[in-house]
């Protein structure tokens, strides 16, 4: 029996958060080991590589945040994503670096694999991945400040994220996650969506890994 099948069969005995953590472990580890991310907390990390990361995430969040907005509106769901948007943070950082991610030099012809119409469980699977990333972002922001001289107001707004409120923002989301994913069926759907989200993040990073603006 696969790891996912085992998790699904016992999923209700776990918290939704723990279920998703186990279901996405392999994808999460692989993403953290990506060549563009693996050295981001170390001295000597090139600012050009950092720019590649920001451009990759800009294109990712533009597509995924649009899908989140469309789905929450269509479902008439009461969860608000308004104050959690990351795309404006990425646009701000790229502007500080003098990069237009929508220019022909930086755009990609690849189509990201996002379901056309997410259901509520899938939305929360996507949100688990992107909201969870804000926890690690705070650590990365500290290293960007020390190694590259970047700050929330100077190129590191995205990784700074919610700042000192990151723990509160995560806990607020985690409470909603538990109420939304109360059974094995909804958790299985969320797990698949969360894995897809990690894999799509990896896809956009792959595209940027060897990119040089033309």
User: Does any domain span residue 150?
Assistant: yes
Question: pLDDT at position 4, please?
Answer: 38
Domain of 201, CATH number, reads 1.20.910.10
Question: pLDDT at position 105, please?
Answer: 84
Q: Packing angle between helix 47-75 and helix 184-209, nearest 10 degrees?
A: 150
Instruction: Tell me how far apart the alpha carbons of residues 23 and 30 are, in angstroms, rounded to a whole number.
Output: 13
User: Does any domain span residue 170?
Assistant: yes
Structural domains counted in the chain: 1
User: Does any domain span residue 109?
Assistant: yes
**CB-based contacts of 23: which residues, under 8 Å, 6+ apart?**
4, 7, 187, 191, 194, 195
User: Does any domain span residue 214?
Assistant: no
Question: pLDDT at position 111, please?
Answer: 75
In the DSSP assignment, the letter for residue 83 is G
User: Mean pLDDT in each 10-residue stretch from start to end of the chain (214 residues)?
Assistant: 38 87 98 95 96 96 95 97 97 97 82 82 98 94 97 98 96 98 97 96 91 61
Question: pLDDT at position 11, please?
Answer: 52
Question: pLDDT at position 196, please?
Answer: 95
Q: What are the beta bridge partners of residue 151? A: 154, 155
User: Does any domain span residue 162?
Assistant: yes
Q: Which domain holds residue 69?
A: 15-209
User: Does any domain span residue 49?
Assistant: yes
Tokens of 191: 């797990």
Question: pLDDT at position 78, please?
Answer: 97
Question: pLDDT at position 2, please?
Answer: 33
Cα–Cα distances in angstroms (integers) from residue 89 to residues 43, 94, 153, 198, in the given order: 24, 9, 10, 20
Instruction: Tell me how far apart the alpha carbons of residues 103 and 42 are, in angstroms, rounded to a whole number.
Output: 30
Question: pLDDT at position 213, please?
Answer: 60
Question: pLDDT at position 24, please?
Answer: 98
User: Does any domain span residue 5?
Assistant: no
Instruction: Tell me how far apart the alpha carbons of residues 67 and 177 are, in angstroms, rounded to a whole number.
Output: 18
Question: pLDDT at position 210, please?
Answer: 76
User: Does any domain span residue 58?
Assistant: yes
Question: pLDDT at position 3, please?
Answer: 36
Question: pLDDT at position 104, please?
Answer: 84
Question: pLDDT at position 7, please?
Answer: 40
The answer to pTM > 0.85 is yes
């Amino acid at each position: 029996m696969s790891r996912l099948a085992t998790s699904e069969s016992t999923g209700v005995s776990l918290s939704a958060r723990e279920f998703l953590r186990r279901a996405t472990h392999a994808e999460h580890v692989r993403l953290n080991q990506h060549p563009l991310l693996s050295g981001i907390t170390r001295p000597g990390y090139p600012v050009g590589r950092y720019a590649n990361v920001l451009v990759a995430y800009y294109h990712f969040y533009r597509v995924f945040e649009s899908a989140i907005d469309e789905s929450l509106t269509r479902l008439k769901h009461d969860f608000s994503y308004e104050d959690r948007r990351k795309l404006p943070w990425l646009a701000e950082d790229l502007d500080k670096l003098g990069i237009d991610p929508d220019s022909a030099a930086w755009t990609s012809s690849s189509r990201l694999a996002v379901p056309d119409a997410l259901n509520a469980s899938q939305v929360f699977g996507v949100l688990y991945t992107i909201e969870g990333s804000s926890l690690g972002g705070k650590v990365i922001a500290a290293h960007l400040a020390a190694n590259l001289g970047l700050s929330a107001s100077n190129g590191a707004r995205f990784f700074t994220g919610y700042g000192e409120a990151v723990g509160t923002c995560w806990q607020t989301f985690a409470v909603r996650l538990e109420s939304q994913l109360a059974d094995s069926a909804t958790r299985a759907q969320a797990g698949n969506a969360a894995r897809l989200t990690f894999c799509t993040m990896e896809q956009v990073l792959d595209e940027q890994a060897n990119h040089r603006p033309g």
